[in-house]
Structure 1
Amino acid sequence: MTFALTMALALLLDWLFGWPGWLYARIGHPVTWIGRVITQLETRLNRSDASRSHRIMVGAVAGLFVVAMCAVAGLLLQAVLPDGFLGAVLGALLAWPLLAARSLHDHVADVQQPLAAGNVERARNAVSMIVGRDPAQLDEAGIARSAIESLAENTSDGVVAPLFWGVLFGLPGIAAYKAVNTLDSMIGYRNDKYEAYGKPAALFDDLVNWIPARLTGLVLVLVSPDRHQAWQVMRRDAGLHRSPNAGWPEAAMAAGLNCRLSGPRTYGDRLEQHPWVNDGAPDPDAATIASALVMLKRCLAVVAGLLVVLAILD
């Protein structure tokens, strides 16, 4: 039996239950476990007085250690699973917390609902939980753009990419991917503290997301109202994004929703100029976020269907 059935069941568990608060209170979450290891290594190894080349080297070694640790843990767990359907179910229980479809939906819905009710301040607080930019600088259109951009990017990073590597390699694949993604989210920043130490993590994250980001874009094109237009915009604008990968799902979703995304943004006291994705389209609003959540559900349905087909074909 392939790993596709395991991943399909894991996606179902994630969508039905997310990661329950009572379970988080009791045992935490695998990402927080990985995060503790990353923090401990960074505290010891990322010395500000070291040369840039040294910091890059130790960052690479630390990153490889974290990824190898997670891959080996996945391999050992997979080795003791029984064959057949029972093994797929048990594997799904282990892979379940490494997906984030339900969490992604709920966090974006938490932005959409107060924005639709006219409570801009509450919407700002909700969007600050999922993006790094300064929420105080965001108007209603900026809040909506931020939520939709996060939804598009994390549909790839939090759902399609872990499933992709899980289908290929099972528990070691999805666990190693989650380690890479967590490393990038914690140390893959272009600032004085992390530019050198986190550079290997950022590059590796770009590498492992290359195929999944483009697959996500294709699925979002497929579930768009005007597939031809979405395809054209994705091909034209994906390369405008500052990320080599995030532009694909973001451009596809922008076209599917008939809105513009990206553009200038503020991080702290720094204004960064970025080109518009799907320039010429109107700004998004709360209703657009609601439509984006519908696109997410359709995307997940397509992905789940593909996983079932792969499992049947085995």
Structure 2
Amino acid sequence: MSRAQLARGLGDGASRRGCPDAPSRALGASPLGPTSGAGPVLGLAVGLLADRVVGDPRRAHPVAAFGAVATAVEHRLWRDARSAGALHVVLLVGAPAAASHLVGRWLERRAAAASLTWLAAALAIALGARSLEEEGRAVGDALAAGDLASARARLPALCGRDPAPLDAAGLAAAAAESVAENTADAVAGPLVWAAIGGPAGVVAHRAANTLDAMVGHRSARYQRFGQPAARLDDALGWLPARMTTSAFIAIAPLFGGSPAVAARVVRRDAARHPSPNAGPCEAAMAGALDVRLGGEVRYPGVARVQQRGPLGDGRAPGAEDVRRAVALSRAAGLVIAVLTGVVLAARDRARHGGGP
């Protein structure tokens, strides 16, 4: 995964599944770090707005800084053993999440607005909706213009696949699949974990997802060391992926699809994907857009070709389908954001005695 992908939270996640490259107490205080009693929904809104307006900085992104720290820690801890990988995860996921929890509690005792800002800042850093849409549209626009060279040049910002052997349909499929997977990782994940664990939940999910992208793949170096990161990312990504899948299915009619067809494709085809979380998302997108995804996948510098089963029964995707995938992703993100707001508001009311 490139530094740009790392900073934006984009890429082929769930890499342990063959890719060499990404209920808490619902109405009570979260054990991972409470949000502000002054209005966590406002913190959610500010975080979403910051991602939408500002996006991800090209330089000095906190996630890129985390990646640099993670690399340094890996160099000190690495052994060809799962126990070393587990310590790596505890330090790089547990420590930031615990620190976020403690800072959030300290801010909450002093100023409601400061605590609210802490949630907004965590979301602004972790969310990648704007970057995902921009990169997806860039590939779609290049394909629409018949400029395969530009489409190949832009694809690595979305995923780690080798774009060189891909034709127009292959580029469109790779882009659509990456948009589907990254909707769960870079949009739904931060939102769902904000609802579950507040800022600490957001930080834990983002750190685990980043570590999986860095070490969670089946190479000689990371076969054992990277397994704890991959397993944790699978666990933390399970609910966001299912919410993304459900959102794709529910809003399929807005994009000319059928919820029944999309759900059938998920039931039948999701297990054909090596990732337990990306599979349902990509299958749901294939069904909702009536396109056929999956198939052969190549990665730069890797001789082995990964053969994935087909997802969906529709036509081969094209430029317009990439644009539709981006629009579907944005709509699904809006649905999940609204649900997150409902959960945060309910928790806020419960913590303050159920008053208005």
Task: Say yes or no: TM over 0.5.
Answer: yes
Which of 233, 244, 255 matches 2:276?
Answer: 244
C-alpha displacement of 1:262:
1.3
C-alpha displacement of 1:223:
1.2
- Does residue 263 (structure 1) correspond to residue 289 (structure 2)? The answer is no
Map of 2:160 onto structure 1: 132
Q: What is the 5 A alignment of 1:13-92? A: 13-21=50-58, 24=59, 28-47=60-79, 52=80, 55-82=81-108, 84=112, 87-92=115-120
- Does residue 253 (structure 1) correspond to residue 290 (structure 2)? The answer is no
C-alpha displacement of 1:270:
2.0
CA contact (8 A) 1:260 1:284 kept: yes
C-alpha displacement of 1:188:
0.5
CA contact (8 A) 1:115 1:286 kept: yes
Map of 2:335 onto structure 1: 302
Quote the RMSD (CA, aligned, Å): 1.8
**Partner of 1:136: helix, strand, or coil?**
coil
* Inter-partner Cα distance in structure 1 for 2:298 and 2:344: 45
| Structure with higher RCO (Cα < 8 A, 6+ apart) | 2
CA contact (8 A) 1:5 1:311 kept: no
* Inter-partner Cα distance in structure 1 for 2:316 and 2:232: 33
CA distance 1:247–1:4, change in 2 (3 Å)? farther
* One-letter amino acid of the structure 2 residue matched with residue 10 of structure 1: G
CA contact (8 A) 1:265 1:273 kept: yes
Per-residue CA shift, 1:110-148, capped at 9, x if unaligned? 211111111101100100222222110111111111111
Stretch deviating more after TM superposition (196-205 or 90-99): 90-99
CA contact (8 A) 1:181 1:205 kept: yes
Map of 2:319 onto structure 1: 286
Map of 1:141 onto structure 2: 169
* Inter-partner Cα distance in structure 1 for 2:40 and 2:200: 11
C-alpha displacement of 1:310:
3.0
* One-letter amino acid of the structure 1 residue matched with residue 77 of structure 2: L
Per-residue CA shift, 1:194-229, capped at 9, x if unaligned? 111111111111111111111110011111121111
* Inter-partner Cα distance in structure 2 for 1:291 and 1:161: 21
* Inter-partner Cα distance in structure 1 for 2:234 and 2:119: 27
CA contact (8 A) 2:123 2:190 kept: no
C-alpha displacement of 1:41:
1.8
* Inter-partner Cα distance in structure 2 for 1:137 and 1:308: 43
* Inter-partner Cα distance in structure 2 for 1:116 and 1:248: 27
Map of 2:186 onto structure 1: 158
C-alpha displacement of 1:45:
2.5
Q: What is the 5 A alignment of 1:108-119? A: 108-119=136-147
**Partner of 1:183: helix, strand, or coil?**
helix
**Partner of 2:305: helix, strand, or coil?**
strand
Stretch deviating more after TM superposition (261-270 or 304-313): 304-313
Q: What is the 5 A alignment of 1:176-195? A: 176-195=204-223
* Inter-partner Cα distance in structure 1 for 2:73 and 2:57: 29
Per-residue CA shift, 1:134-184, capped at 9, x if unaligned? 110111111111111110001001111121111111111111111100100
Per-residue CA shift, 1:44-96, capped at 9, x if unaligned? 2224xxxx4xx211111111110112112211331233454663245313431
Stretch deviating more after TM superposition (227-236 or 254-263): 227-236
C-alpha displacement of 1:300:
1.9
* Inter-partner Cα distance in structure 2 for 1:106 and 1:85: 32
**Partner of 1:259: helix, strand, or coil?**
coil
- Does residue 273 (structure 1) correspond to residue 302 (structure 2)? The answer is no
C-alpha displacement of 1:311:
4.2
Runs of 4+ in 1 over 6 A off after TM superposition: none
Map of 1:101 onto structure 2: 129
**Partner of 1:274: helix, strand, or coil?**
strand
Q: What is the 5 A alignment of 1:198-213? A: 198-213=226-241
* One-letter amino acid of the structure 1 residue matched with residue 201 of structure 2: G
C-alpha displacement of 1:3:
4.3
* Inter-partner Cα distance in structure 1 for 2:153 and 2:330: 24
Unaligned runs of 5+ in 1: none
C-alpha displacement of 1:269:
2.6
* Inter-partner Cα distance in structure 2 for 1:87 and 1:239: 41
CA contact (8 A) 2:272 2:309 kept: yes
Using the size of structure 2 for normalisation, the TM-score is 0.80
